[in-house]
A and B are shown apart, each in its own frame.
Chain A
Amino acid sequence: MSAVRAAGAATRAGLSARDAAEVYARLGREPNAVEARMLAVMWSEHCGYKHSKTALRRLPGRSPRVVSGPGENAGVVAIGGGWALAFKMESHNHPSAVDPYNGAATGIGGIIRDILAMGARPVALLDSLRFGPLDEPRPRRLAAGVVAGIAGYGNAIGVPTVGGELRIDPCYRDIPLVNVACLGLVRADRVVTAAASGPGNVVLYVGARTGRDGIGGAAFASAELDETQAAADRASVQMGDPFAGKLLIEATLQALEAGGVVAMQDMGAAGLTCAASEMASRGGVGMTLDLDRVPLREPAMRPEEILLSESQERMLLVVAPAAAATVAAIYRRWGLTAEVVGTVTADRRLRVLAGGRVIADLPPDVLADAPAYDPPSEPPADLHERWRPPVLPEVDPTDVLLRLLAHPDVAGKRAVYQQYDHSVGIRTVVRPGDDAAVLRVLEAPPLGVALVADGNARWCAADPRRGGALVVLEAAANLACVGAEPVAVTDCLNFGSPERPAVYWTFVETIEGIAEACRALDAPVVGGNVSFYNEAEGGRAIAPTPVVGLAGVVPDVARTVPAGFQRAGDLIAVVGDGEASLGASLYAQVVAGRARGRPADPAPARAVAAIACVRDAVRQGVLASAHDCADGGLAVALAEACMAGGHGAAVTLPAGPTTLFGEGPGRFVVSISPPQYGVFEALARARGVPFCALGRVEGDRLRLTPPGARAAAVEVPVDALRAAWTSLEV
């Protein structure tokens, strides 16, 4: 058989000529039409990580706490008391661009099942969103639909949405970003694997029935979007059923209690094909599947439709034969289907039967292990041009402070998070709107976990390596404010086409930056995903947008502090002396219209020292409030602490031109009751962390006075700050 003919079925199924040749080389034959369809989906960028898996190896994935790292459905990290957390973030950008409600809703459903597949009860959701300007009709429609979809699924399934972020930029006009993270809790000795094992064990299909929805969704997610294709693509978007999702959670946790479950995985992207081949490949075994036994929602579905359907709320279990009846009965009691659809075999072949005939027979490794590409990489030609310090006009600082507070990236997000049930589960101790959310671990009091999601494309577009590190350090600073130590990182890396050398270079640099900061924090990256091809018609790519989710441990949930100033008379200090830069800052964007220049040097070791200092001060009860300096720098942080606490502040600024609005890592605004000030001073000195007393909490106005000056440069009533900051309408 000629290689040219061999490429026939494979290329017709959508594989590139290069991948088709690779298939031929690995199989030693031409795949048949069904196999070719399976391969095309498994080797899509979305499932196969072809352009990213080499670079992703640069991320640190190990720490003594890690129970299960990358390669499983979600990372699992020990948190003490015999418990562990499962944590993962994923993107659902492409489906949300076409059908915002269902795209976002199924994103929530999918990430919840990834956590459930580890044997963990899902207890919290985070979402990180990007849209174009909300005064334009399309971004507004997308934003409203996405928020409603997250609410529609998350609220019904009873997993609280406790935090996240929302940023606006014209680059997301056509391609919104919808990144969702879920955190679950599992006993450390009860973590479930997704590696099939034990020839003779049965393969149990559980959950909802299989329909024609979402066929080829993974391949669709790996292509650039074309507006005229949108209507046709709608069939590639799945529909969520949170009720079925809720049943699946409860039934699965009961089934695990009953025993006999060897392995399990969500049927998400590429459905049955992905779950079966990945589970068999991980376990080094084979699997036989009989499609005639798959519960169907509609008649006369073709075998490849059954194999590739992305119908939601389905999972694949490997179960000991003796336990199969008991496990199936539990699912049926919850009103779900449960059918034995196959067996685990010793021969490392994935064999698919339909109508009594073998329709596909190939090694699961070939499906599960897509080729790794090493695409050309080149820095953008204008990189050094971008790094020139911005020339910024003289502006009135009060005026610019109010404009910064009104900017959508800074403005209040109450209108969004009030649509999410964030208190169901009675674990939410620190609610949305603070630096990080804190949930109590009801199973092991007084332990808690803290969660935050962060991303900043402005920094990453200017300098991806610095930006990647700064984003991680910023998230760690948020955790420190509630006394949490980061123990697990998950990330969504949202980029344009990796086939463009500048995009690929940016991607790799971002990963290096994230890796550097994670190493400094000793926080492993335990999972996540990559979303490439975030480009609209005509090749307009989004800005490089890594989003990180950090989970941290809080030893005692009663010992956290709020972001806002608590009492008049408390002393205000700024902690940390990391570089602050106006380059690529929100200030530069607001006053000059474009965020030019280079972001601050992350200097991770220095930032981490300040982060640890604040964390320990919070844990020891020394601080009255803690808030990190992020977008808009010290000025915005002070304003936010005033608004959150309902107090004014009189502050004398430290020296330096960038102190007011410059952005950089590891800087905090804290307030301290006067008797505690000496304690904090000693704590910071002992660690060599610089801090500077700025003033005190007083009155109902924010007054900022330059060093040595008598007159205030900024003097604004807190009510006026609040009026500017008033919530974004979505």
Chain B
Amino acid sequence: MTWGVVVFPGANCDRDCVHVLRAVLGADVAEVWHADRSLDGIDALVLPGGFSYGDYLRSGAVAATAAVMPAVRAFAASGGPVLGICNGFQILTEARLLPGVLMRNRSLRFQCHPVWVRVESTATPFTAGLRLGDVLEMPIAHGEGAYLAPPETLDALEAAGRVVFRYCDARGRVVASANPNGSAAAIAGVANAAGTVVGLMPHPERASEALLGSADGRRLFESAAAWLAARRPATSGAAR
């Protein structure tokens, strides 16, 4: 399988994602330039963190209109797995591939530190290999990570099991002090209706090697790889 990592000019986690996928997981990786219009040959896609076009406007707002985005939409529509990390999550919400918005942190400051998240759904490629209630340690590094949505959207997300990750303490308890940025219902990550498009604020690629303090994030990538491997025969059948 081949992973695609979209390179927006102001992305700054693209190289980190490529390193983890290529050197840690041993996967094939293609860097997809933001001006490209095709995702041919890509099996799973990562929208990495950073400041895609400087983010002087709302984070991700410009990236949502990038030349590559029609191809990203088509890829998502065809059921291809897409993971948006941090700025990638912001881009997915701006592109309306995921519901809700990411507002400034409650502290009104950029925050960089480890957090814990609890797995709330395994109905996505990135969590299919995990268990409900698993607690993952990963760092956050963002100024605009407060996930907000209208109450009816939040209710619908909860009802449909589309909340994928929730901020929690080291023991998995969802407590107010563990919510780093003021996200509604402590939501750290959500999925689209099909479960194939997932966005989250913490950085799994920064927690994919024990040397960096945690290897929990690697499980998301490994899960997607296993999910694709299991799906492959069915997909090629459907494509005929």
Complex Cα–Cα for A244 and B12 (A): 13
Q: Which residue of B lies closest to A147 (CB)?
A: B109
Given A247-B9, A424-B16: A155 touches B110 (CB 8 Å cut-off): yes
What mask results when residues 221 to 259 of chain A are scored 1 for a CB within 8 Å of chain B, else 0?
A: 000000000000000000001111011001000000000
CB distance from A93 to the nearest CB of B (A): 24
Q: Counting CB contacts under 8 A, is A173 at the interface?
A: no
What mask results when residues 1 to 38 of chain B are scored 1 for a CB within 8 Å of chain A, else 0?
A: 00000000110110110011000000000000000000
Complex Cα–Cα for A184 and B205 (A): 22
CB distance from B54 to the nearest CB of A (A): 3
Cβ–Cβ contact A418 & B112, under 8 A:
yes
Complex Cα–Cα for A350 and B189 (A): 58
Cβ–Cβ contact B55 & A426, under 8 A:
no
Complex Cα–Cα for A646 and B27 (A): 40
CB distance from A450 to the nearest CB of B (A): 15
The one of A148, A246, A425 that contacts B51, using a Cβ cutoff of 8 Å: A246
Residues of B within 8 A of A334 (CB): 9
Cβ–Cβ contact A420 & B112, under 8 A:
yes
Q: Which residue of B lies closest to A156 (CB)?
A: B51
Q: Counting CB contacts under 8 A, is B118 at the interface?
A: no
Residues of B within 8 A of A400 (CB): none
Complex Cα–Cα for A211 and B211 (A): 45
Cβ–Cβ contact A426 & B10, under 8 A:
no
The one of A151, A418, A426 that contacts B113, using a Cβ cutoff of 8 Å: A418
Cβ–Cβ contact B112 & A421, under 8 A:
yes
CB distance from A548 to the nearest CB of B (A): 26
Cβ–Cβ contact B211 & A242, under 8 A:
no
Residues of B within 8 A of A151 (CB): 109-110
Cβ–Cβ contact B9 & A241, under 8 A:
no
State which size class the interface on A falls in.
20 to 34
Cβ–Cβ contact B9 & A423, under 8 A:
no
What mask results when residues 97 to 113 of chain B are scored 1 for a CB within 8 Å of chain A, else 0?
A: 00000000000011111
Given A156-B55, A335-B9: A426 touches B19 (CB 8 Å cut-off): yes
Number of interface residues of B (CB under 8 A): 31
Q: Counting CB contacts under 8 A, is A33 at the interface?
A: no
Cβ–Cβ contact B141 & A155, under 8 A:
yes
Given A243-B53, A334-B9: A424 touches B212 (CB 8 Å cut-off): no
Cβ–Cβ contact A426 & B205, under 8 A:
yes
Q: Counting CB contacts under 8 A, is A442 at the interface?
A: yes
CB distance from A444 to the nearest CB of B (A): 13
Q: Which residue of A lies closest to B208 (CB)?
A: A426
Number of A-B contacts (CB under 8 A): 84
Q: Counting CB contacts under 8 A, is A429 at the interface?
A: yes
CB distance from A673 to the nearest CB of B (A): 21
The one of A155, A250, A558 that contacts B9, using a Cβ cutoff of 8 Å: A250
Cβ–Cβ contact A419 & B109, under 8 A:
yes
What mask results when residues 147 to 190 of chain A are scored 1 for a CB within 8 Å of chain B, else 0?
A: 01001000111100000000000000000000000000000000
Q: Counting CB contacts under 8 A, is A422 at the interface?
A: yes
Q: Counting CB contacts under 8 A, is B162 at the interface?
A: no
Q: Counting CB contacts under 8 A, is A428 at the interface?
A: yes
Complex Cα–Cα for A422 and B113 (A): 9
Complex Cα–Cα for A157 and B55 (A): 12
Residues of A within 8 A of B139 (CB): 423
Residues of A within 8 A of B20 (CB): 426
What mask results when residues 418 to 440 of chain A are scored 1 for a CB within 8 Å of chain B, else 0?
A: 11111111101101000000001
Q: Counting CB contacts under 8 A, is A557 at the interface?
A: yes
Complex Cα–Cα for A428 and B113 (A): 12
Q: Counting CB contacts under 8 A, is B50 at the interface?
A: yes
Complex Cα–Cα for A419 and B180 (A): 13
* Subset of 12 A-B contacts with CB under 8 Å: A155-B51, A158-B13, A158-B51, A241-B54, A243-B9, A243-B56, A246-B12, A419-B112, A421-B110, A424-B12, A426-B16, A431-B213
Contacts A151-B109, A156-B54, A418-B109 given; 7 further ones with Cβ under 8 A?
Answer: A158-B13, A241-B54, A242-B54, A246-B12, A422-B112, A424-B141, A440-B211
